[in-house]
């Protein structure tokens, strides 16, 4: 499969389109200068504890305080609190987590008032960006995602992505992860780590440890509220998560971002740095790659697909209705039932694509032209 990433940069945002065999399958927008993004780590201060919600509001410097629920504290919150206290005490410049003695896990049914106090300083991570009149939702269960693994401080667990089904591969990855896992860190092995060698996993782990060390270095002198470390921007995140040997091209129309992406790929996959290409054409960027037309189609009422069949998508207050029509499609070699089956098979793929682009919920399918006769 031919995969391409098209990155359109303008003054207010970066629009990222993922193409598979020239078809638009994912569209993302990354606002320029966006703060309080998912994954960002902040040093905050407990502003208020609400026993009735079993939650606390945390001052992270945003106009609205962040929301932290008891269930988002993480089982090792006592260890995190102890680590912060030692790091900010001034008695030692940097506390090594490898020699740190973890506290017991907290109970799942406990009370947040027994864990946190007003004005207490706490290290948290943005789990949901602020929207409307609400501040960000945060978690104290820290995790640092890399390309192949996720590093979890104050844990010793190793887990493998459920999407890796082969038992032998799961066991192999677990053995490798256990052999390189630093003390007092847990590891979650991601799906893209399947069939990767220990050197690649180790290189990813080294980068994650550098990220934790940067947090550890800043913490002793941090003053709440303060941003400690930011997550990768959406562009780099997509590249980190999706980049593989089937990626053929990454086109970008901004010189600065072109250099950033090329340098990033040089770090994670040196052999693929040449797939990054700077667009210098005069035709509008997305129009040149046929993306603009596909975007308009995705958000329209009528959606045609190969062979003459089409969908009609009606939006009501409670649900979306999708009607599959065969249109002018006929095949003299097949009977009516076979034609109906072929249309519906094609429609199933297109409906999935439309659902992804529209992010629909509560969908009801109305198949008026034909019903599937075979699985």
- Inform me whether the pLDDT recorded for 213 exceeds 80: yes
What average pLDDT does the segment 342-363 reach?
A: 67
Residue with tokens 């947090």: 215
Least confidently predicted of 10-24, 83-97, 230-244: 230-244
Q: What percent of the chain has pLDDT over 70?
A: 85
| Cross-strand pairs, 250 | 5, 276
Confidence band for 81, pLDDT divided at 50, 70 and 90: very high
pLDDT at position 33 is 57
For 338, the enclosing helix (H) or strand (E) is: helix 336-358
pLDDT at position 179 is 93
Q: Are 89 and 77 in contact (CB under 8 A)?
A: no
What does the pLDDT look like over 24-80, one tens digit per residue?
888 877 766 567 778 889 999 999 999 999 999 999 999 999 999 999 999 999 999
Q: Could you tell me which of 75, 138, 69 has the C-alpha nearest to residue 107?
A: 75
Average pLDDT of every residue of the chain: 83
What average pLDDT does the segment 203-211 reach?
A: 91
- Inform me whether the pLDDT recorded for 375 exceeds 60: no
Q: What percent of the chain has pLDDT over 90?
A: 40
What average pLDDT does the segment 341-362 reach?
A: 69
Supply φ then ψ for residue 76, to 5 degrees: -105, 30
Residues of the chain with CATH 3.30.420.40: 3-35+233-288
- Inform me whether the pLDDT recorded for 374 exceeds 60: no
**Four-way CATH pick for 41-229: 3.40.50.800, 3.30.930.10, 3.90.1150.10, 2.40.50.140:** 2.40.50.140
**Four-way CATH pick for 3-35+233-288: 1.10.3720.10, 3.40.50.11540, 3.30.420.40, 3.40.50.300:** 3.30.420.40
What does the pLDDT look like over 88-144, one tens digit per residue?
887 777 888 888 899 999 998 999 999 999 999 999 999 998 887 889 999 999 999
What average pLDDT does the segment 180-189 reach?
A: 94
pLDDT at position 300 is 66
Residues of the chain with CATH 2.40.50.140: 41-229
- Integer CA distances (angstroms), 306 to 1, 100, 309, in order: 18, 61, 7
Q: Could you tell me which of 316, 298, 232 has the C-alpha nearest to residue 14?
A: 232
Query: In this predicted model, which residue has the larger pLDDT, 220 or 370?
Result: 220
Query: In this predicted model, which residue has the larger pLDDT, 371 or 315?
Result: 315
Confidence band for 359, pLDDT divided at 50, 70 and 90: very low
Query: In this predicted model, which residue has the larger pLDDT, 355 or 84?
Result: 84
Q: What is the pTM of this model?
A: 0.69
Confidence band for 324, pLDDT divided at 50, 70 and 90: confident
| Cross-strand pairs, 82 | none
- Integer CA distances (angstroms), 59 to 195, 222, 225, in order: 43, 14, 6
């Amino acid at each position: 499969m031919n995969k391409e990433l098209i990155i359109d940069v303008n003054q207010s945002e970066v629009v990222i389109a993922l193409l598979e065999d020239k078809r638009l399958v994912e569209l993302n927008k990354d606002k320029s200068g966006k703060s309080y993004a998912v994954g960002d780590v902040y040093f905050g201060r407990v502003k208020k504890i609400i026993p009735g919600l079993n939650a606390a509001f945390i001052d992270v410097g945003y106009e609205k305080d962040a929301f932290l629920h008891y269930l988002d504290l993480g089982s090792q919150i006592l260890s995190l609190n102890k680590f912060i206290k030692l790091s900010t005490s001034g008695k030692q410049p940097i506390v090594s987590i490898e020699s740190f003695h973890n506290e017991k896990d907290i109970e799942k049914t406990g009370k947040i008032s027994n864990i946190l106090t007003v004005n207490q300083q706490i290290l948290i991570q943005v789990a949901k960006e602020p929207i409307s009149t609400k501040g960000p939702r945060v978690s104290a269960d820290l995790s640092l995602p890399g390309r192949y693994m996720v590093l979890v401080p104050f844990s010793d667990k190793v887990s493998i992505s459920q999407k890796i089904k082969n038992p032998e591969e799961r066991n192999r990855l677990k053995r490798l992860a256990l052999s390189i896992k630093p003390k007092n860190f847990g590891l979650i092995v991601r799906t893209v780590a399947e069939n990767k060698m220990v050197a690649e996993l180790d290189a990813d782990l080294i980068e994650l440890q550098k990220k934790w060390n940067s947090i550890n270095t800043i913490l002793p002198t941090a003053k709440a509220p303060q941003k400690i470390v930011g997550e990768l921007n959406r562009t780099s995140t997509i590249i980190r998560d999706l980049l593989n040997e089937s990626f053929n091209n990454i086109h970008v129309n901004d010189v600065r971002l072109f250099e950033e992406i090329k340098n990033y790929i040089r770090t994670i996959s040196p052999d693929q740095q040449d797939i990054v290409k700077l667009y210098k054409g005069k035709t509008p960027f997305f129009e040149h790659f046929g993306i603009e037309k596909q975007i308009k189609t995705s958000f329209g009422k009528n959606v045609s697909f190969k062979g003459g069949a089409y969908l009609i998508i009606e939006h009501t207050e409670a649900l979306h209705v999708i009607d599959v029509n065969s249109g002018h499609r006929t095949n003299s070699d097949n009977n009516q039932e076979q034609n109906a089956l072929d249309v519906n098979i094609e429609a199933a793929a297109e409906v999935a694509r439309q659902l992804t682009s529209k992010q629909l919920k509560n969908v009801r399918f109305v198949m008026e032209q034909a019903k599937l006769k075979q699985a």
